[in-house]
Structure 1
Amino acid sequence: MKQALRDLAALVARVGVGGIFFANGWTKLEDGLKATGAKFLAQGAPAPGAWATVTMLTELIGGALLIAGLAVSVTGLILFAEALGVFVVAPPLNPISLNELILLGAASLLLAVVGAGRVSVDHMVVIRRRESEAANEFAADTEADRVIASLREPDKSPAPEPQDEPAGTAASKDTAPHPRPRAKSGEVSRSEDPVPAPGDTLVAGRKKPAARTRRPPSD
């Protein structure tokens, strides 16, 4: 709400101050440069013809820019400098005109500092410029991400696929004889079976005891 009131106040001030400047410049244009120069000569201005031309153009162009709200900061300073120059070099003889000159100069300086508000060409130009800058930054970020992604892709090389081995190679690897580990000195290898003594018979992995003989009956 406060911002809306500020924008409305800035709009009213711009239209009022710019309208007065534009009306004064238009009056000088209608009167002609000779008549305006004669007024400046009566007010004691040196080179009255130059003062008439400069003030007429400044008030016409500056007033129109203030009403439109375009380059208000620069335009306000230029109009303030014009009013200050007229006040110092050729002050109006009419007190009302002098007071009007002072008020216009102060209002121009105030608008130059405060700004044109959101209801102005300046604000629309700033918004478009910010949007274009944001779009350019977004496009630059997207392009940078794409370049980084393209640089990272070659690093991720796929793992080499296993090559097909010729038939019989795997079987030969599995069926190839492997050397038995040698037992250390002092240790008996469990994998080796004990050699049976002559006459012994192994039954289910055990040595069969020798056959018993009958003793002859005693007399």
Structure 2
Amino acid sequence: MSRSGQTTTVRESLRDIAAIVARVGVGGIFFANGWRKLEIGLAQTGVQFQGQGAPAPRAWATVTMLTELIGGALLIAGLMVSVTGLILFAEAVAVLWVAPPLNPITLNELILLGAASLLLAVVGAGRISVDHMVVIRRRETEAANEFAADHEADAVIASLRDPAKPPADPVAKSSDVKGSGPAARKDAAKKEEPGKAAESDVSLEDTAPHARPRRTESAPSDEPAPGDTLVAGRKKPPARGRRTTTGGD
């Protein structure tokens, strides 16, 4: 990182720290003032506003109490700081205009709180706040929507350039991407090449050598064949021819 980049990062960090310190300080004082009004009661607070010359003191007591309680809590949390700061600044100006405090310390405190509220409304809550988290999520959502719109526009342009080719379906594309694992490739291979499965089944057959069956010779049959002579119930063997010799060569 360059020196200028480091300087910018340091400045942003200091700005965030200053913003959260100011928010907690200003919001804490506003919340404490509203809580004190709530503790002593609206009647007593109305009496104080009546002593300061405010018209409808009970209404002023109710409005200022709610504004300081809710506004102080929002400043501390860093939620809607721009709007909250303007509301608290307007409340301080209204009190100074309608019923200025009789105590100088309270008057100075009210002026400082109004100025700080206006400053926070202009500067913002910083990155350590709820507002910053909401902005980040909003930007991420907008970026996702823009990406989807660009993808759809590209698909339409591609379909116009090549009418014969249907536009790519992002849902189908995502399903293809999800189904690109080993199991999906295995299923696709089975569908495309059914012959390979049969070959693999044949290769799994038992090919171990086995002993050949011994050939047995058939026993001679005792049944007489046509032309045989039976002697005492048995087959008479055929007569052997004698070799005749002639005398004197």
Report the TM-score, using the length of structure 1 for normalisation.
Answer: 0.70
Query: Percent identity among equivalent residues?
Result: 83
| Alpha-carbon displacement from aligned partner over 1:97-128 (angstroms, at most 9, x marks no partner) | 11100000000000001110000111110111
Query: Which of structures 1 and 2 has the larger relative contact order (alpha carbons within 8 angstroms, sep 6+)?
Result: 1
Distance, in Å, in 2 between the alignment partners of 1:94 and 1:127 is 44
Residue 199 of structure 1 corresponds to: none
Residue 192 of structure 1 corresponds to: none
Amino acid at match of 1:112: A
| Deviation of the 1:68 alpha carbon | 0.5
Amino acid at match of 2:120: L
Unpaired runs of at least 5, structure 2: 1-9, 166-249
Match of 1:136 among 117, 126, 145: 145
- Give SS of 1:154's match: coil
Distance, in Å, in 1 between the alignment partners of 2:84 and 2:163 is 58
1:101 has 2:110 as partner: yes
1:55 has 2:55 as partner: no
| Alpha-carbon displacement from aligned partner over 1:138-172 (angstroms, at most 9, x marks no partner) | 0110111112212222268xxxxxxxxxxxxxxxx
Residue 196 of structure 1 corresponds to: none
Counterparts of residues 174-185 of structure 1 (less than 5 Å): none
Distance, in Å, in 1 between the alignment partners of 2:163 and 2:101 is 80
Match of 1:21 among 26, 30, 40: 30
Match of 1:89 among 71, 90, 98: 98
Unpaired runs of at least 5, structure 1: 157-219
Residue 49 of structure 2 corresponds to: 40
Amino acid at match of 2:36: T
Report the TM-score, using the length of structure 2 for normalisation.
Answer: 0.61
Match of 1:122 among 120, 124, 131: 131
1:3 has 2:3 as partner: no
| Alpha-carbon displacement from aligned partner over 1:1-48 (angstroms, at most 9, x marks no partner) | 110000000000000000000000011011111000000000000000
Distance, in Å, in 1 between the alignment partners of 2:103 and 2:111 is 13
- Give SS of 2:162's match: helix
Distance, in Å, in 2 between the alignment partners of 1:138 and 1:100 is 50
Distance, in Å, in 2 between the alignment partners of 1:115 and 1:83 is 19
Amino acid at match of 2:66: L
Distance, in Å, in 2 between the alignment partners of 1:154 and 1:125 is 43
Distance, in Å, in 2 between the alignment partners of 1:143 and 1:62 is 44
Distance, in Å, in 2 between the alignment partners of 1:33 and 1:49 is 7
After TM superposition, the structure 1 stretch with the greater mean CA deviation from structure 2, 61-70 or 141-150, is 141-150
> What is the number of equivalent residue pairs in this alignment?
156
